[in-house]
Amino acid sequence: MISQKMYELGTKKSTIRTIFEFGRKRAAEVGEENVFDFSLGNPNVPTPEYVKEAALDILTHWEPSAIHGYTVAPGAPQVRQAIAESINKRFGTHYAGKNIFMTAGAAAAITISFKALCQEGDEFVTFAPFFPEYRCFVESVGGKLVVVPARTADWQIDFDAFAKLVTNHTKAIIVNSPNNPSGAVYSEATIKQLADILRAKEKEFGHPIFLISDEPYREIAYEGFTVPYIPKYYDNTLVCYSYSKSFSLPGERIGYIVVPDELESYEKIFGAIAGAARVLTHVNAPSLWQYVVARCADKPSDISTYVTNGQLLYNGLKEAGFECVQPQGAFYLFPKCLEPDDYAFCERAKKYGLLLVPGTDFGCPGYFRAAYCIKTDTIKRSLPLFKQLAAEYK
């Protein structure tokens, strides 16, 4: 009668949502101040003033039909041009408006890219730990997700494992740096090595292997860590960008795909992206927000809260005895649990009001994710509780 697969996807709550809802219930029982919710990646830095001002100015001064009307499917031409120019200034690229396809955030950008590329039997390779939605996005277009085991020492890439998993069936590689959930930024050396291996594999198999760079956290990289612009290292790259985190606009659904000329058959891929967006009923990215982000494209993001929070939590966890890689970007830490069973560990943490997400959800058992896009004071007050939790294991 109905699609069992869709029913399961729609009714099985994600672990993150379940923890978040538990937190809301618990807050009603014991008070908001006694719940330390590290579960959700919802930015807590306020949307910048210049974004609000741009939205208000457009809403006040433009013709309503110009603001709220449909745009052409890839986005308003002046928006695409403004974004292309902004990227060119930053990265020395040579994009024009035709290289930008506006989307409803990164989720739409990656799903459209998967759909545009996927043929029967295709595999999409990603690296643990990974954003759990990749699996359902890839499977929704008929592809298979292949996961490279994590390199836990520094969350860079285990290239030996990777090289074995790239086969004749590999259509694309998905990378996400700065990473959710590890907080790592792939170094230039990592990107160069990845590009070299892919070029060799393309030669070996005689077909292109695409790199899909999922970059919602691009702007959130800390001092000493630079996020390489991947199309400069590897031609067959699609960049999926979002303003959800950089401008704290996750609910407005705005982002884009960069479709470079350097891709093997740009025209065909751009056409397939337009077709994929069409069948996914992505009529156009939200019009108002296209105009707003185009105006703000060159503006910086304020990441100071994340810098403070990341350092505070990292130092506190280290002091409590946790093994953890230093925060490099995004707003997550991914420490090792104090027992092998990450579900049992996160369950135990709940006793202290600490709401953490088991690493298994990200393809990396034995670890937990702590999202630190929360109030700095909440983090400060949580540190003695992490110590008490750790003491249980001594």
Chain residues binding ligand PLP by CB under 6 A are: 41, 105-107, 131, 176, 180, 214, 216, 242, 244, 250, 255
Label the pairing between strands 357-358 and 368-371. antiparallel
Shortest Å distance, C-beta 237 to ligand PLP: 16
Closest CA to 159 of 204, 183, 193: 193
- Of 377, 355, 358, 356, the residue nearest 367 (C-alpha): 358
Complex with ligand PLP: residue 331 or 386, whichever CB lies closer? 331
Return the closest-CA partner of residue 331 out of 240, 245, 254, 392: 245
Residue 274 Cβ vs ligand PLP, minimum distance, rounded to whole Å: 19
Question: CB under 8 Å to 175, separation ≥6 — which residues?
Answer: 126, 127, 186, 194, 211, 212, 213, 214, 230
Q: What's the closest the beta carbon of residue 343 comes to ligand PLP, in angstroms? A: 21
What gap in Å lies between CA 136 and CA 263, rounded to an integer?
Answer: 26
For residues 90-101, one letter each, b for 16 or more C-beta atoms within 10 angstroms of the residue's C-beta and e for the rest, the string is: eeebebebbbbb
- Minimum Å distance from CB 110 to ligand PLP? 6
Smallest gap from residue 121 Cβ to ligand PLP (A)? 25
Nearest distance in Å: CB 168, ligand PLP? 27
Residue number with CB closer to ligand PLP (106 or 259): 106
- The smaller minimum CB distance to ligand PLP, of residues 151 and 369, is found at 369
Please say which residue, 104 or 146, places its beta carbon nearer to ligand PLP: 104
Cβ distance to ligand PLP smaller for residue 3 or 281:
281
Look-up of token digits 């982000």 = 293
CA distance 73 to 40: 31
* Minimum distance from residue 305 beta carbon to ligand PLP (Å): 17
Q: Provide the 3-class DSSP secondary structure of residue 293.
A: helix
Quick one: 36 or 332, whose CB is closer to ligand PLP? Answer: 332
**In terms of CB distance, is 245 or 348 closer to ligand PLP?**
245
CB of 348 to ligand PLP, least distance (A): 26
- Ramachandran sector of residue 155 (left: φ over 0; alpha: ψ -120 to 50; beta: rest): left
Closest distance between ligand PLP and the C-beta of residue 320, in Å?
26
Q: Do 106 and 215 touch, CB atoms closer than 8 A? A: yes
SS3 content of the chain, % helix, strand, coil (to 5): 45, 15, 40
**Are residues 208 and 238 in contact, defined by beta-carbon separation less than 8 angstroms?**
no
Nearer to ligand PLP, 214 or 342 (CB): 214
Degrees to nearest 5, angle at CA 251 with 249 and 254? 60
For ligand PLP, the closer of residues 250 and 358 by Cβ is 250
244-275: burial string, b at 16+ Cβ within 10 Å, e else: bbbbbbbebbbbbbbbbeebeeeeebbebbbe
